[in-house]
Amino acid sequence: MSGRLNDKVVVISGGASGIGAAHAEIFAREGAKVIIGDLQEEMGQDLVDTINQEGGDSVFIPLDVSKEESWNNIVTAAVSRYGKVTSLINNAGIGSGKDTESETVEGWDKCCAVNQTGVWLGMKVSIPEMLKAGGGSIVNISSVYGIIGSVGMIAYHASKGAVRLMTKAAALEYATKNIRINSVHPGIIETPLAMTMPEKYIEVFKGKTPMGRLVKWTPLSRQYFHDFI
Protein backbone atom coordinates (compact mmCIF):
# COMPACT_ATOMS: atom_id res chain seq x y z
CA MET A 1 0.00 0.00 0.00
CA SER A 2 0.94 3.67 -0.20
CA GLY A 3 1.83 4.29 3.44
CA ARG A 4 -0.52 7.28 3.57
CA LEU A 5 -1.12 6.74 7.29
CA ASN A 6 2.44 6.19 8.46
CA ASP A 7 2.28 8.91 11.11
CA LYS A 8 -1.22 8.12 12.40
CA VAL A 9 -2.30 6.48 15.65
CA VAL A 10 -5.91 5.30 15.49
CA VAL A 11 -8.25 3.98 18.17
CA ILE A 12 -11.03 1.79 16.80
CA SER A 13 -13.95 0.87 19.04
CA GLY A 14 -15.70 -2.39 18.25
CA GLY A 15 -12.60 -3.27 16.26
CA ALA A 16 -12.49 -7.01 16.86
CA SER A 17 -14.92 -8.04 14.11
CA GLY A 18 -17.10 -6.86 11.27
CA ILE A 19 -16.71 -3.28 10.06
CA GLY A 20 -14.29 -2.45 12.86
CA ALA A 21 -11.95 -5.29 11.91
CA ALA A 22 -12.00 -4.12 8.29
CA HIS A 23 -11.02 -0.65 9.47
CA ALA A 24 -8.17 -2.07 11.54
CA GLU A 25 -6.82 -4.06 8.62
CA ILE A 26 -6.79 -1.20 6.12
CA PHE A 27 -5.32 1.29 8.58
CA ALA A 28 -2.53 -1.11 9.51
CA ARG A 29 -1.75 -1.84 5.87
CA GLU A 30 -1.44 1.89 5.22
CA GLY A 31 1.06 2.26 8.06
CA ALA A 32 -1.03 3.49 11.00
CA LYS A 33 -0.51 2.29 14.55
CA VAL A 34 -3.81 0.60 15.45
CA ILE A 35 -5.39 0.26 18.89
CA ILE A 36 -8.32 -2.15 18.78
CA GLY A 37 -10.89 -1.74 21.55
CA ASP A 38 -13.64 -4.27 22.09
CA LEU A 39 -15.33 -6.54 24.62
CA GLN A 40 -14.53 -9.54 22.40
CA GLU A 41 -11.05 -10.11 23.79
CA GLU A 42 -10.16 -13.38 22.06
CA MET A 43 -11.27 -12.16 18.63
CA GLY A 44 -9.53 -8.84 19.17
CA GLN A 45 -6.25 -10.45 20.12
CA ASP A 46 -6.45 -12.85 17.17
CA LEU A 47 -6.86 -9.89 14.83
CA VAL A 48 -3.92 -8.07 16.43
CA ASP A 49 -1.77 -11.18 16.00
CA THR A 50 -2.72 -11.39 12.34
CA ILE A 51 -2.02 -7.71 11.71
CA ASN A 52 1.35 -7.85 13.44
CA GLN A 53 2.36 -11.04 11.63
CA GLU A 54 1.69 -9.23 8.36
CA GLY A 55 4.04 -6.40 9.34
CA GLY A 56 1.57 -4.02 10.98
CA ASP A 57 1.70 -2.50 14.45
CA SER A 58 -1.40 -3.11 16.52
CA VAL A 59 -2.47 -3.76 20.10
CA PHE A 60 -5.72 -4.90 21.71
CA ILE A 61 -7.15 -3.10 24.76
CA PRO A 62 -10.47 -4.20 26.33
CA LEU A 63 -13.07 -1.45 25.91
CA ASP A 64 -16.59 -0.95 27.21
CA VAL A 65 -17.62 2.13 25.25
CA SER A 66 -20.39 3.01 27.69
CA LYS A 67 -17.87 3.59 30.50
CA GLU A 68 -15.73 6.74 30.69
CA GLU A 69 -13.11 4.91 32.76
CA SER A 70 -12.72 2.32 30.00
CA TRP A 71 -12.22 5.07 27.41
CA ASN A 72 -9.66 6.75 29.65
CA ASN A 73 -7.82 3.44 29.89
CA ILE A 74 -7.59 2.80 26.15
CA VAL A 75 -6.56 6.35 25.27
CA THR A 76 -3.96 6.39 28.03
CA ALA A 77 -2.62 3.05 26.78
CA ALA A 78 -2.43 4.38 23.22
CA VAL A 79 -0.48 7.46 24.28
CA SER A 80 1.81 5.41 26.51
CA ARG A 81 2.63 3.00 23.68
CA TYR A 82 2.69 5.31 20.66
CA GLY A 83 3.06 8.81 22.09
CA LYS A 84 -0.19 10.28 20.75
CA VAL A 85 -3.67 9.71 19.35
CA THR A 86 -4.45 11.26 15.97
CA SER A 87 -7.52 9.34 14.85
CA LEU A 88 -10.66 7.73 16.23
CA ILE A 89 -13.25 5.48 14.67
CA ASN A 90 -16.34 5.27 16.85
CA ASN A 91 -17.55 2.00 15.40
CA ALA A 92 -18.94 -0.05 18.30
CA GLY A 93 -22.68 -0.52 18.12
CA ILE A 94 -25.56 -2.84 18.92
CA GLY A 95 -29.03 -3.33 17.50
CA SER A 96 -32.48 -3.36 19.04
CA GLY A 97 -35.46 -4.77 17.18
CA LYS A 98 -38.29 -3.41 19.33
CA ASP A 99 -41.05 -1.02 18.33
CA THR A 100 -42.29 1.97 20.33
CA GLU A 101 -44.57 0.00 22.63
CA SER A 102 -42.56 -3.20 23.04
CA GLU A 103 -39.17 -1.56 23.71
CA THR A 104 -38.21 -1.62 27.39
CA VAL A 105 -36.40 0.99 29.43
CA GLU A 106 -33.58 -1.51 29.91
CA GLY A 107 -33.32 -2.17 26.18
CA TRP A 108 -33.52 1.53 25.34
CA ASP A 109 -30.84 2.43 27.88
CA LYS A 110 -28.48 -0.31 26.68
CA CYS A 111 -28.82 0.62 23.02
CA CYS A 112 -28.31 4.32 23.68
CA ALA A 113 -25.44 3.66 26.12
CA VAL A 114 -23.44 1.87 23.43
CA ASN A 115 -24.50 3.63 20.23
CA GLN A 116 -24.91 7.17 21.53
CA THR A 117 -23.11 7.68 24.85
CA GLY A 118 -20.21 5.56 23.63
CA VAL A 119 -19.65 7.85 20.66
CA TRP A 120 -19.74 10.96 22.83
CA LEU A 121 -17.33 9.47 25.36
CA GLY A 122 -14.94 8.45 22.60
CA MET A 123 -14.81 12.02 21.34
CA LYS A 124 -14.66 13.52 24.83
CA VAL A 125 -11.65 11.46 25.88
CA SER A 126 -9.77 11.39 22.57
CA ILE A 127 -10.01 15.03 21.54
CA PRO A 128 -7.67 16.41 24.25
CA GLU A 129 -4.92 14.12 22.95
CA MET A 130 -5.61 15.15 19.35
CA LEU A 131 -5.26 18.78 20.37
CA LYS A 132 -1.89 17.95 21.93
CA ALA A 133 -0.89 16.23 18.69
CA GLY A 134 -1.78 19.30 16.64
CA GLY A 135 -4.97 17.93 15.13
CA GLY A 136 -6.76 14.77 14.18
CA SER A 137 -9.74 13.13 12.60
CA ILE A 138 -12.78 11.31 13.96
CA VAL A 139 -15.18 9.09 12.04
CA ASN A 140 -18.44 8.22 13.79
CA ILE A 141 -20.25 5.24 12.35
CA SER A 142 -23.95 6.04 12.26
CA SER A 143 -26.33 4.24 9.91
CA VAL A 144 -28.75 4.89 7.10
CA TYR A 145 -31.24 4.43 9.96
CA GLY A 146 -29.78 7.57 11.49
CA ILE A 147 -31.30 9.43 8.53
CA ILE A 148 -34.52 7.59 7.69
CA GLY A 149 -37.16 5.84 9.78
CA SER A 150 -38.49 2.29 9.72
CA VAL A 151 -40.91 0.16 11.72
CA GLY A 152 -39.71 -1.73 14.76
CA MET A 153 -36.32 -0.27 15.75
CA ILE A 154 -37.16 2.79 17.83
CA ALA A 155 -34.10 2.77 20.12
CA TYR A 156 -31.69 2.05 17.28
CA HIS A 157 -33.08 4.91 15.20
CA ALA A 158 -32.88 7.25 18.19
CA SER A 159 -29.28 6.37 18.95
CA LYS A 160 -28.02 6.50 15.37
CA GLY A 161 -29.86 9.75 14.68
CA ALA A 162 -28.15 11.18 17.74
CA VAL A 163 -24.76 10.16 16.32
CA ARG A 164 -25.48 12.12 13.17
CA LEU A 165 -26.30 15.37 15.00
CA MET A 166 -23.61 14.95 17.65
CA THR A 167 -21.14 14.69 14.81
CA LYS A 168 -22.38 17.90 13.21
CA ALA A 169 -22.19 19.77 16.53
CA ALA A 170 -18.70 18.49 17.37
CA ALA A 171 -17.45 19.12 13.84
CA LEU A 172 -18.39 22.79 14.13
CA GLU A 173 -16.89 23.03 17.60
CA TYR A 174 -13.47 21.77 16.48
CA ALA A 175 -13.35 22.93 12.86
CA THR A 176 -10.93 25.75 13.72
CA LYS A 177 -8.77 23.45 15.87
CA ASN A 178 -7.61 21.16 13.07
CA ILE A 179 -9.83 18.24 14.07
CA ARG A 180 -12.16 16.91 11.38
CA ILE A 181 -15.24 15.01 12.56
CA ASN A 182 -17.47 13.12 10.11
CA SER A 183 -20.20 10.53 10.30
CA VAL A 184 -20.88 7.81 7.76
CA HIS A 185 -24.22 6.09 7.26
CA PRO A 186 -23.91 2.54 5.91
CA GLY A 187 -26.80 0.36 4.96
CA ILE A 188 -26.92 -3.20 6.23
CA ILE A 189 -23.64 -5.06 5.84
CA GLU A 190 -22.85 -8.76 6.15
CA THR A 191 -21.16 -8.54 9.53
CA PRO A 192 -21.32 -11.27 12.21
CA LEU A 193 -23.70 -9.08 14.24
CA ALA A 194 -26.03 -8.40 11.32
CA MET A 195 -26.16 -12.07 10.39
CA THR A 196 -27.61 -12.94 13.81
CA MET A 197 -30.89 -11.34 12.73
CA PRO A 198 -33.75 -13.65 11.73
CA GLU A 199 -33.77 -14.43 8.03
CA LYS A 200 -37.15 -12.70 7.59
CA TYR A 201 -35.62 -9.40 8.68
CA ILE A 202 -32.64 -9.84 6.40
CA GLU A 203 -35.00 -10.40 3.48
CA VAL A 204 -36.88 -7.21 4.37
CA PHE A 205 -33.61 -5.24 4.29
CA LYS A 206 -32.68 -6.78 0.94
CA GLY A 207 -36.08 -5.81 -0.42
CA LYS A 208 -35.49 -2.17 0.53
CA THR A 209 -32.08 -2.11 -1.16
CA PRO A 210 -32.07 -1.14 -4.87
CA MET A 211 -29.43 -3.78 -5.71
CA GLY A 212 -31.36 -6.44 -3.82
CA ARG A 213 -28.43 -7.61 -1.70
CA LEU A 214 -26.44 -6.71 1.39
CA VAL A 215 -23.02 -5.05 1.32
CA LYS A 216 -20.05 -7.42 1.29
CA TRP A 217 -16.74 -6.24 2.72
CA THR A 218 -13.99 -6.22 0.10
CA PRO A 219 -10.77 -4.18 -0.03
CA LEU A 220 -12.47 -1.78 -2.44
CA SER A 221 -15.56 -1.26 -0.27
CA ARG A 222 -13.36 -0.61 2.79
CA GLN A 223 -11.43 2.15 1.07
CA TYR A 224 -13.91 5.00 1.55
CA PHE A 225 -13.62 4.83 5.34
CA HIS A 226 -9.87 5.19 5.00
CA ASP A 227 -10.24 8.41 3.01
CA PHE A 228 -11.67 10.25 6.03
CA ILE A 229 -8.49 9.85 8.07
pTM score of the predicted model: 0.85
State the pLDDT at residue 63: 98
Query: pLDDT-derived band of residue 223, with 50, 70 and 90 as boundaries?
Result: very low
Could you tell me the maximum CA-CA distance found in the chain, to the nearest angstrom?
51
Query: pLDDT-derived band of residue 222, with 50, 70 and 90 as boundaries?
Result: very low
State the pLDDT at residue 96: 86
22, 91, 125, 139 from 224: Cα distances, Å: 11, 15, 25, 11
Q: What is the Cβ-side half-sphere exposure of residue 52, based on CA atoms within 13 angstroms?
A: 13
* Active-site residue identified among 145, 156, 174, 224: 156
**SS3 call for 198:** coil
What pLDDT, in 10s, does the model give residues 150-197? 888 999 999 999 999 999 999 999 999 999 999 998 877 666 666 666
User: Where is average pLDDT lowest: 1-10, 113-122, 220-229?
Assistant: 220-229
User: Where is average pLDDT lowest: 55-69, 91-105, 152-166, 206-220?
Assistant: 206-220
State the pLDDT at residue 197: 60
Residue 3 has pLDDT above 70, yes or no: yes
Taking 3-state DSSP, the helix, strand and coil percentages for the chain, each rounded to the nearest 5, stand at 50, 15, 35
Cα–Cα distance measured from residue 176 to residue 32, given in angstroms and rounded to the nearest whole number: 25
**SS3 call for 127:** helix
DSSP strand pairing (9-13 vs 33-38):
parallel
Cα–Cα distance measured from residue 110 to residue 97, given in angstroms and rounded to the nearest whole number: 13
Q: In the CATH hierarchy, which fold is given to the domain comprising 9-222?
A: Rossmann fold (3.40.50)
Residue 204 has pLDDT above 70, yes or no: no
More confident residue, 175 or 213: 175
Minimal CA–CA distance to 6: which of 39, 37, 28, 35? Answer: 28
Question: Residue 201 catalytic?
Answer: no
Domain coordinates in residue numbering, the chain: 9-222
List the beta bridge partners of residue 58: 34
Q: What percent of the chain has pLDDT over 90?
A: 73
User: Where is average pLDDT lowest: 14-23, 30-39, 118-127, 209-218?
Assistant: 209-218
Q: Where are the alpha helices (DSSP H) in 63-216?
A: 68-82, 105-112, 118-133, 154-174, 199-208
Query: pLDDT-derived band of residue 226, with 50, 70 and 90 as boundaries?
Result: very low
What pLDDT, in 10s, does the model give residues 83-115? 999 999 999 999 888 999 999 999 999 999 999
Q: Which residues of 178-193 are buried (b: 16+ CB within 10 A; e: fewer)?
A: ebbbebbbbebbebee
